[in-house]
Amino acid sequence: MSRFSRRAVAIVLAGASIVIVGLLFWPDMRTEPMRLGAPVPPSFAQNVSTGKSVAEQLSEAFESAAERVGPSVVPIYAEKTVERTDEMEMFRRFFGDQLPGDGEEGGQQMRSMGSGVIARADGYILTNNHVVAGAQRLRVVLEDGKQYDAKIVGTDPPTDLAVIRIDAKNLPVAQFGTSENLRVGQWVIAVGNPFQLLHSVTAGIVSARGRSSIGVAAYEDFIQTDASINPGNSGGALADLDGRVVGINTAIASMTGTNAGVGFAIPIDMAKLIMEELINEGGVTRGYLAVLPQDITEELARALDLPSREGALVGSVTPGGPGDKGGIERGDVIVEFNGKKVKNSSGLRSEVARADPDNTVNLTVIRDGKRKTLKVKLGERPSEVAQNDRERNQQPEGKLEEEFGLALQELTGESARQLGYENARGAVVAGVKAGSPASDAGLSRGDLIVEIDHKPVQSAGDAERVLSSVKSKDTVALVVRRGENTFYVPLTRGSGVSPSSQR
C-alpha cells in the first residue's frame, strides 16, 4: 500500500470515528442532520435550563443565609492610644488603622473597626479579644444606623474571644449552629465589615478543620476557610447555608495582610462555652494537668520507637502538680482523654481546658510500648504567664559544630544561678549554628540537655561522648530543659559538611 493510500485510509477511519461518537453522544444527529442556522437541539437547551436552575437555587441559598445572619453581625469601632510600634503593627495586622491622630503623652490615637455577633437580644455581643483589647472607647452601629457605646463584659485572651454589651433591647440575635458536624468542602459564608465596608458577605468552603500552631491564641482549634476574610472581619460570623453561625472569624494567613484564601475561624462550639462563662462569671476557668505536651514528629517517633505520630508526648511534668499526682511521667504518650482520641498536643490542651477543675478524668497513655489507664484529678489552670524569650543564636565553636552545629559548656554554679538551673545537672547549649541540625531541631542558647536516648546527662562531656557516637544521618531523642519546662527534641547528625559551606 502506498503512502498516499495509507493516509487516505487513516482519514476515512478518523471521520468514521467522529460520526460514531456523534451518533452515540448526540442523539438528535440521528434524526435531524445539523445544518447551518439550524435551531439548537432540544436536549442541549434542556441541559442549559437545568444548569441555570441549579445555579439559581444555589444563589438563593446564599441570599437566604445572608439575609438570616446579616442583621446580627455588627461593626465595632475601637479607639485606643497606642504607645509602642509593635502594638500598632498588631492593630494593622488584624483590622487596619483609620484616622490616626495624636494621643496623650506622645502616643498615637488609633481608630479601628472589627466585627461582632449579637448573641442575646438584651445587648450581649460576641467578638474577638484583639478587637476590643485596650480600647478606651467602643462603639457599635446597628443595621438601622443607631449607635451605642459598649462596655466589656469579659475577655479571654487564650482563645482570643470577648463579650461586650450595649444598652439596647429586642436586638436581632444570631442563630448559633454547631461546628462539630462541619465537613471539609462544605459551603460557608463570612459576614463582617472589611476595610470599613459595612455588612459584607463572602462565600467559600470549609478548607480544613482542627488547625493549630497558627500563633494567634494559646488554644487553637481553628476552622480554615477560603471565604474571603480581611482586616475588619475579625469577630464576624462564619455561617452555613442555613444562616447558622458555625464560627467566629479571627485571623488570616497572608504575606500582605489581606485575603490570600486562607482564613481561620474559632469553632462556635468552643466560642459558646467561653461566651457563657464570660457572661455568667466574668472570666474563664480551665482544667489543668501541669504537664508540657508536644507533637510527635516523624524523627521523634523514630528516635523513641513509637508506633505512630498520634497522641501528645509528655515533655515535662510539674512536680506536685495534678499530672504528677495522677501518675503521669515524662515520656508518656497520651492517646485518649476520657475515652476521646487525642491526636496531638493541641487536641490535648483543648480537652483539658474544656474540662472543669477538680474533675477526675481517665487518661490512656502509652508507656514503654504498653497502654495504661490513669485516673487524674484536674487542677485549675493559673493565669497565663508570658515566658521569657531566650532565642539568641550564636555561632558555636567546638567538636560538635561540624556534625550538629552545636556548642556545649559545663553547667557551673554561676551559670546555674543565671539560667535558673540550680541543683540541676546536664550540658548547657552555648551556641547554635544557623541552618544546622541543632537549629532545625529548635535548640537555643541557654537550653539544658538533661537526657540523650534515655541516658541521663551529667555534664557537657557526657553529652559530647554520646553525641559523638551517633552515626551520620541517625536521629537521637534529647530531653531539653528550658526555664521550668522540659521537652523532647529529635536531633539528627549531619553528613560532616558544615551547613555554611553547602551550595
Give the catalytic positions in this structure. Answer: 130, 160, 234
Q: Which of 379, 374, 365 lies closest to 326, judged by CA?
A: 374
Whether 377 contacts 352, CB under 8 Å: no
User: Each residue of 273-292: b (16+ CB within 10 Å) or e?
Assistant: ebbebbbeeeebebbbbbbb
Report d(CA 424, CA 411) in Å as an integer. Answer: 8
**Three state DSSP letters for 241-309:** CCCCEEEEEEEECCCCCCCCCCEEEEEHHHHHHHHHHHHHHCCCCCEECCEEEECCCHHHHHHCCCCCC
Q: State the angle between helix axes of 345-354 and 268-281 in degrees (0 to 180), rounded to the nearest 10.
A: 40
* Cell numbers found for residue 294: 508536644
Burial of 317 (0-12, 13-18, 19+ CB in 10 A): buried
Q: What is the widest separation between alpha-carbon atoms in the chain?
A: 99
- Chain-centre distance for alpha carbon 366: 26
Q: Which of 484, 6, 98 is nearest to 292 (CA)?
A: 484
Q: How far apart are CA 124 and CA 172, in angstroms?
A: 11
Report DSSP letters for 190-233, one per residue: EEE-GGG-TTEEEEEEEEEEEE---SS-SS--EEEE-S---TT-
CB neighbours (10 Å) of residue 231?
A: 25
Burial class (CB in 10 A: 0-12, 13-18, 19+), 357: middle
Q: Please give the C-alpha separations between residue 343 and each of 83, 330, 373, in angstroms, as whole numbers.
A: 41, 18, 17
The continuous run of DSSP H or E covering 341 comes out as strand 340-341
Scan for cell 470549609, then name that residue.
206
Cα-Cα-Cα-Cα torsion 470, 473, 479, 485, nearest 10 degrees, comes to 150
What kind and span of H or E run contains 486? strand 485-492
Are 449 and 480 in contact by the 8 Å Cβ rule? The answer is: yes
Strand pairing report for 291-294 and 287-288: unpaired
